[in-house]
Amino acid sequence: MTTLTPTSRGGAPAAGRTVLVLGATSAIASAFCRTRAAAGGRLVLVGRHETRLAAIAADLTARGAAEVATVTTDLGDMAEAEARFAAMIARLGPPDEVLLAYGVLGEQAAAQDSAEETRRVIDVNFTSAALWLQLAAKHLVADGRPRTLVVIGSVAGDRGRQSNYVYGAAKAGLDAFAEGLAHRLHRTNVKVVTVKPGFVDTPMTAHLDRSGPLWAKPEAIASAIDRAVASGQRIVYAPWFWRPIMTAVRFAPRAVFYKTKL
């Protein structure tokens, strides 16, 4: 009789990368973790929901991850960030990759009427994210190993739009922060990659109509992240077609743009 435990594995895993995943329960992060697990990676999963992190950890272990640790914490909460971040990277040592994947879409209509909701969307998506990136940069520049900070941005940050400008502004701020960080770290071993997904079929967007050709699966975004890390490209649109779309959106004259419902 076999007793199943999530940790029993056969076969020797390939030496894989160590990845710190901030917001591991997001669909995009989960999909990315599977690519790293399949290559025998070591993963630290950070999120709010202990049982969900455990479910993901078991899955990644079965898929070949060499080691998986979980840290249950609210990344939107910025109290004692320094000590908490140190504890995260103490679990499996300095990560080769940090994926910043958490975020909250918020409700634009609610934010328009509520300073509290506006603040929540900006704090979670920008303020706290900037803070964790700052700490990651501080901890990772010391040695010469190639390391990557991956930031999940959004096409929504490319231009403020009436339908989504609170979230968009937070992501735009994160964009500027990541750009500055990349500039600062240019001569070091640490690369900063911003991945900007468009519409992704995840629980975050479950309330939207997801038919149509612009929607992508989380697995497609995960592959784009994987390629971006490999190439070190500074900004990656995922899928690629969002680059020309957003170029058009960014440069559309106001006389035209303000007539749209975008």
Partner 1 sequence: MTEAPRVATTSWGRVARSASHVAEPAYLDDLGPAVRAGATPALAHGLGRSYGDVCLNDGGRLLRTGRLDRIMAADWSTGVVRAEAGLTIGGLLAVAVPRGWFVPVTPGTKFVTLGGAVANDVHGKNHHGAGTFGCHVRAIGLMRSDGAVLKIGPEARPHLFAATVGGLGLTGLIAWVEIQLQPVASSDFEVQTSRLGDLDAFFRVAGESHAWPYTVAWVDCLASGRKLGRGLFSRGRHAADGALVPHAEAARLKVPRDAPSALLGPATVRLFNAAYSRQPATGETRRVPYGKFLYPLDGITDWNKLYGGRGFFQHQSVVPMAAAPRALQALLELTSSEGQGSFLVVLKLFGPRPSPGILSFPREGATFALDLPNRGPDTLRLLGRMAEVVLEAGGRLYPAKDATMSADQFRAGFPRWREVESYRDPGISSDFWRRVTGDRP
Residues with a known catalytic role: 167
Question: Is the peptide bond preceding residue 253 cis, with omega within 30 degrees of 0?
Answer: no
Q: Does 2 bind partner 1 (CB under 8 A)?
A: yes
Q: Which residues of 110-125 are buried (b: 16+ CB within 10 A; e: fewer)?
A: ebeeeeebbebbbbbb
Least separation in angstroms between CB 33 and partner 1:
11
DSSP conformation class of 3: P
Residues 6+ apart with CB under 8 A from 113: none
* Residues in region 128-167 near partner 1 by CB under 8 A: none
Please list every residue from 38 through 57 that binds partner 1, using CB under 8 A: 49, 51-52, 55-56
**Residue corresponding to tokens 């035209």:** 256
Closer to partner 1 at the Cβ: 27 or 135?
A: 27
* DSSP characters over 182-211: HHHTTTSSEEEEEEEE-SB-SGGGTTS---
Among 12, 83, 115, 206, binds partner 1 (CB under 8 A): 206
Tokens of 185: 């770290």
Question: Which of 13, 17, 48, 63 touches partner 1 (CB under 8 A)?
Answer: 63
Cβ 78 to partner 1 shortest distance, Å? 26
Judged by CB under 8 A, the number of residues near partner 1 is: 22
Question: Is residue 17 within the footprint of partner 1 (CB under 8 A)?
Answer: no
**DSSP SS3 for 98:** strand
- Using the rule CB under 8 A, give the single segment among 2-10, 84-92, 127-135, 243-251 that binds partner 1: 2-10
5 binds partner 1 (CB under 8 A): yes
Stretch that binds partner 1, among 1-9, 72-80, 89-97, 173-181 (CB under 8 A): 1-9
Q: What are phi and psi of 156, to 5 degrees?
A: -65, -20
Nearer CB in complex with partner 1: 93/203: 203
Find the binder of partner 1 among 14, 15, 62, 176 (CB under 8 A): 62
Min dist. Cβ of residue 202 to partner 1 (A): 8
Assign 251 to helix, strand or coil. Answer: helix
- Do the beta carbons of residue 79 and residue 4 sit within 8 Å? no
| Interatomic CA distance for residues 178 and 230, integer angstroms | 18
In the complex, which residues of this chain contact partner 1 (CB under 8 A)? 2, 4-6, 8-11, 25, 27, 49, 51-52, 55-56, 58-59, 62-64, 203, 206
